[in-house]
């Protein structure tokens, strides 16, 4: 059968001689036979395999033949995926998909009029301002290229989730970050294992910045940058970074994500952190291949922490695979406006594809991710952590610093994945166990912040 979403698109969208990126979900015992028969169809190329999924590229006219192969359960589309950040800037931060149209990266982290200058300018002067937030121990107001921002180092933002003193560090727990790549030479992530599952970018290095930022915020060691100390939530955890998004502007596809999850599983990751997504959930969670993989491995005890997205404030804007029922979906809370979520944060109850389903409402929980509760509120709030890549300096102006600023549900997610590493060390083994404590200790679940802002004290 065809995935219902793909079937509808093929019926409605007028296509030319397009080559489509498809995913064949097959019976496990039939995988080799399916690959052999598919390769004999004119124009079809076999690309990769992961679990019981096979990635193929095929012309439109070959789709029906692929569907008829014995052992093929479902033919899915390999959906475009992206980091949940950045502005649209013409073709630099958008791609054209034949079935969806233009796919843009979210306009959350840097205004478009700063993107090109920051690709080439190595330094912009800044100065610290004296305006401390009551919640923090620092004076974080900074004037940079984009004006004044509340710049909060992760040594402070981690205190929101690590709200009590504890010896827990994540020791013995492997956390896999699926993103734009890692940096094994940064002071916060020295020796990090970095591999690639991205078909368009086989080098594991992060030259974008998003991936190294989320890695350092989740499990980064202590380091000092221009604006103070940076430290991940679980600095004692074992670090693994799997590139699933292109390191230039942060695009990938569904199969990149599935392959990345397989590599994380094969290398023994207990916690998988995904600051990524897409607006379309292919046929709803019961049909979407990414959601199926997340739910299947969650049943085996892997804990998935996934960004809610930055497509709010409208309802039904949770991204995919953030809408996967078994994952822990993370919203971004503003420290400046604590405990309110950022205005751009995606809202539940789920993805728009699930409007006729009875899934538990999303998001599940909130964690520090920056931003302000009201659109246009000033100064904006950004979080400061270790980063290497061309995006460094967008907010604080200095490309020579070892740290950089970002905000988004992408930034909230590593705070939660770091917390989950602490909880695994403390004896919690599944996402369901963790969610049950969220439900018992948090407030009544809502579609903005789930059960509230996650806290270590709830579990001790």
Tell me the domains of the chain and their CATH numbers: 17-76 (3.30.70.920), 150-458 (3.40.50.200)
**pLDDT grade, residue 350 (50/70/90)?**
very high
Pairwise CA distance, residues 28 & 51, whole Å: 8
pLDDT for 386-436, tens place per residue?
A: 999 988 887 777 788 999 999 999 999 999 999 999 999 999 999 999 999
Residue 2 has pLDDT above 80, yes or no: yes
Average per-residue pLDDT for the chain:
89
- Higher-confidence position of 351 and 147: 351
Longest Cα separation, the chain: 69
Strands 141-144, 127-128: pairing kind = antiparallel
Q: How confident is the model at residue 130 (pLDDT cuts 50, 70, 90)?
A: very low
Structure tokens at 204: 């594991």
How does pLDDT run across 289-299, given as a tens digit for each residue? 999 999 999 99
Name the band, by pLDDT with cuts 50, 70 and 90, for residue 140.
low
Alpha helices in 231-314 (DSSP H): 254-266, 289-299
**Spatial separation of the C-alpha atoms in residues 384 and 230, rounded to whole Å:** 7
Q: Are 149 and 142 in contact (CB under 8 A)?
A: yes
Task: Name the pLDDT band for 87 (thresholds 50, 70, 90).
Answer: very low
Q: Using a pLDDT cut of 70, give the percent of the chain over it.
A: 87
State yes or no: cis peptide before 306, omega within 30 of 0: no
Partners of 305 in the beta sheet?
273, 328
* pLDDT of 118: 41
pLDDT in tens, 419-432: 999 999 999 999 99
Average pLDDT, stretch 78-92? 64
Region 346-351: mean pLDDT is 98
CA distances from 197 to 53, 259, 414 (A): 14, 6, 20
Q: What is the DSSP letter of 360?
A: P
């Amino acid at each position: 059968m065809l995935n219902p979403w793909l079937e509808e698109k093929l019926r409605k969208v007028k296509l030319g001689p397009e080559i489509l990126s498809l995913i064949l979900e097959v019976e496990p015992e039939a995988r080799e036979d399916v690959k052999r028969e598919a390769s004999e169809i004119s124009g079809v190329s076999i690309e990769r395999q992961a679990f019981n999924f096979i990635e193929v590229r095929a012309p439109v006219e070959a789709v029906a033949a692929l569907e008829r192969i014995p052992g093929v359960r479902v033919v899915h589309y390999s959906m475009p995926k992206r980091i949940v950040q950045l502005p649209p800037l013409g073709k630099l931060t958008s791609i054209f998909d034949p079935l969806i149209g233009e796919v843009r990266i979210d306009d959350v982290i840097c205004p478009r009029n700063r993107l090109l200058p920051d690709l080439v300018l190595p330094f912009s002067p800044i100065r610290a301002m004296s305006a401390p937030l009551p919640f923090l121990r620092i004076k974080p107001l900074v004037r940079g290229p984009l004006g004044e921002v509340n710049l909060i180092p992760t040594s402070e933002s981690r205190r929101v989730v690590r709200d009590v003193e504890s010896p827990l560090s994540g020791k013995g727990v492997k956390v896999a970050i699926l993103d734009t790549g890692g940096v094994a030479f940064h002071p916060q992530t020295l020796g990090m294992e970095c591999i690639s599952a991205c078909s368009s970018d086989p080098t594991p290095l992060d030259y974008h910045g998003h991936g190294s930022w989320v890695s350092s915020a989740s499990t980064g060691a202590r380091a000092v940058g221009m604006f103070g100390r940076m430290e991940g939530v679980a600095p004692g955890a074992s670090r693994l970074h799997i590139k699933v998004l292109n390191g230039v502007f942060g695009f990938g596809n569904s199969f990149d994500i599935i392959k990345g999850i397989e590599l994380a599983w094969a290398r023994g990751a207990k916690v998988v952190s995904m600051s990524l997504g897409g607006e379309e959930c292919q046929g709803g969670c019961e049909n979407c291949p990414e959601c199926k993989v997340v739910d299947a491995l969650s049943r085996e005890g892997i804990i998935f922490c996934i960004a809610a997205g930055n497509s709010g404030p409208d309802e039904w804007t949770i991204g995919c695979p953030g809408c996967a029922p078994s994952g822990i979906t993370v919203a971004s809370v503003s420290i400046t406006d604590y405990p309110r979520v950022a205005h751009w944060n995606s809202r539940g109850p789920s993805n728009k594809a699930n409007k006729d389903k009875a899934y538990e409402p999303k998001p599940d929980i909130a964690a520090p991710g920056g931003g302000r509760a009201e659109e246009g509120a000033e100064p904006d709030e950004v979080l400061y952590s270790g980063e290497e890549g061309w995006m460094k300096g967008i907010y604080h102006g200095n490309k020579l610093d070892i740290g950089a600023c970002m905000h988004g549900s992408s930034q909230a997610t590593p705070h939660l994945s770091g917390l989950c590493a602490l909880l695994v060390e403390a004896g919690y083994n599944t996402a369901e166990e963790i969610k049950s404590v969220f439900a018992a200790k948090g407030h009544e679940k809502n579609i903005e912040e789930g059960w509230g802002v996650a806290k270590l004290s709830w579990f001790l």
